[in-house]
Structure 1
């Protein structure tokens, strides 16, 4: 089984969409996505600087739009679809669209609302996130509890992301658990924690009337690594996930249990493939960063189908 995975916030870089927009079809599609998300995604993906695209309300629709543009290009090149999909954090909205639970346009409308609501929630208090690499997991979790921090992402491959007040994150960095490295993340708040409760309420209201279908390919939930078969349940999980930890480690364990034989990460790619190389050794993977990567991704996809 070859699957497609969709990255989360923090994977964007200035100008990364420029190569994709050499296609007039892709440019027109991105302009349509801009209308749905209420963000100028063409400018954001080509000319805005790192600080500007780090803004949560910009970053989230930008990432989902890029993932769906590159996913459509992959399908066109390969002539077939991956057999399963999963998304990390905001990437779950791209996965829902890829699994045909919701339309791409609806995904961009919802991610625009999600980004604005999470930015508003993050503005209430000075919070952030830091990746903790290495160390003993129980030691890490004990240190987070000691510093009143939440394990917001269990990324697998020996990485946990802590979230909470900036002062508490600074204290953690000053006295890290043994054998760990602390990396502050360039995000604007403590995502996937109780700080995001108001954003959950906003997105739940927006998603309540969305028309859904059941997934047409295997769809994993990053809430617990389970596979979802009902569209409405998938939407409900996506909404609640804003204030609950991302369990990408459990997703990767489920990939192994379900016979995944290849992974394609869509733009802006690289982060999830890096995690997979550490946790799923030997599984072929391709990161689709630019259109030049589509051939390798299509070859991996069609080779499995054959």
Structure 2
């Protein structure tokens, strides 16, 4: 496992109670949560540990997930000197990966993704945005169907390539629902409308790009400790100039998660997921290489023991 690649989950991995074990047993985690709460004026102890409906709202989910991921990563690197060749994340997780690669201070990253969530929310106001998961269709079939439907005036795009036979599409919610029978006829085993009020990774977010670029310019450092795999290209980058362009493009481009894992799998013997276990599930569809998830102190100790 000394040749592991670090991976970071995205939106949809959030759940009440995440990070609680870190907070209860680690002074570092407690300090990180307290400092993040002060920085963006969000009480993360309430958001993360008490029942509420805000954790599913994009402007709160994004900083919460990133914060827990970076706590897990910090606790790991404090005790282990494994340096990955590259790091990557799924959508929001790419920002966690940037911070893990010393491209951005973690508090700047918390504020950046909070602002990113607000920009995405604003871009989708009044357009009835939504996302839908499709199971059982190959990439080409989904691409062809959505392309034909766009020519007919529907607002639908492939948004996340999560694994063979698992794609998420984004766009206008009514348009997505209207195409469910079409996808079933094409062989989809299941279509599930996701509890999302934004349409991530499609052109409906283009109005958010200029402001996100400005925030990236403000908070990204010039040099990174290691390369990051881009969701947009499924290949690596390692400069502020590239990061600004690619992370702005990421808002309106599909997440090539499956392609990213396939790109790096020959250069690693395992993956370590920080702060969640969603990617561990996705990776089972993509690669034979094992994925270890660090979500609490027990799983942290188990992964450290394997090294």
Question: Does TM-score exceed 0.5, indicating one fold?
Answer: yes
2:270 alignment partner, one of 262, 266, 275: 262
How far does the alpha carbon of each residue in 1:244-271 deviate from its partner, in whole angstroms, 9 at most, with x for none?
Answer: 11111220121124x121101111x121
Does structure 1 residue 213 correspond to structure 2 residue 222? yes
Name the residue aligned to 2:304.
298
Name the residue aligned to 1:31.
34
Task: Please report how far the alpha carbon of residue 278 of structure 1 lies from its aligned counterpart in structure 2 after TM superposition.
Answer: 1.3
What secondary structure sits across from 2:225 in the alignment? coil
How far does the alpha carbon of each residue in 1:174-208 deviate from its partner, in whole angstroms, 9 at most, with x for none?
Answer: 33231431122222111111111122122112222
| In structure 1, distance between residues paired with 2:220 and 2:188 | 48
| In structure 2, distance between residues paired with 1:191 and 1:163 | 6
Name the residue aligned to 1:5.
7
> Are 2:33 and 2:45, in contact at CA under 8 Å, matched by a contact in 1?
yes
Q: Which structure 1 segments of 5+ residues have no match?
A: none
> Are 2:138 and 2:164, in contact at CA under 8 Å, matched by a contact in 1?
no
1:108 alignment partner, one of 101, 107, 110: 110
> Are 1:224 and 1:247, in contact at CA under 8 Å, matched by a contact in 2?
yes
Farther off after superposition, 286-295 or 52-61? 286-295
1:195 alignment partner, one of 204, 229, 236: 204
Does structure 1 residue 163 correspond to structure 2 residue 195? no
2:96 alignment partner, one of 94, 103, 128: 94
> Are 1:37 and 1:111, in contact at CA under 8 Å, matched by a contact in 2?
no
User: Alignment length, in residue pairs?
Assistant: 297
Cα separation, partners in 2 of 1:57 and 1:278, compared to 1, 3 Å: same
Cα separation, partners in 2 of 1:246 and 1:132, compared to 1, 3 Å: same
Q: Which structure 2 segments of 5+ residues have no match?
A: none
Q: CA RMSD in A?
A: 1.7
| In structure 1, distance between residues paired with 2:188 and 2:117 | 35
How far does the alpha carbon of each residue in 1:55-106 deviate from its partner, in whole angstroms, 9 at most, with x for none?
Answer: 0110010011111011001112324443321011111111001011111122
How far does the alpha carbon of each residue in 1:224-249 deviate from its partner, in whole angstroms, 9 at most, with x for none?
Answer: 11111223312331222112111112
| In structure 2, distance between residues paired with 1:240 and 1:36 | 27
Does structure 1 residue 241 correspond to structure 2 residue 250? yes
| In structure 1, distance between residues paired with 2:73 and 2:57 | 24
| In structure 2, distance between residues paired with 1:299 and 1:279 | 26
TM-score (norm 1): 0.91
Name the residue aligned to 2:16.
14
> Are 1:37 and 1:61, in contact at CA under 8 Å, matched by a contact in 2?
no
Farther off after superposition, 140-149 or 54-63? 140-149
Equivalence map 1:63-82=2 (5 Å)? 63-82=65-84
Cα separation, partners in 2 of 1:160 and 1:195, compared to 1, 3 Å: same
Task: Please report how far the alpha carbon of residue 158 of structure 1 lies from its aligned counterpart in structure 2 after TM superposition.
Answer: 2.1
| In structure 2, distance between residues paired with 1:57 and 1:34 | 14
> Are 1:60 and 1:90, in contact at CA under 8 Å, matched by a contact in 2?
yes
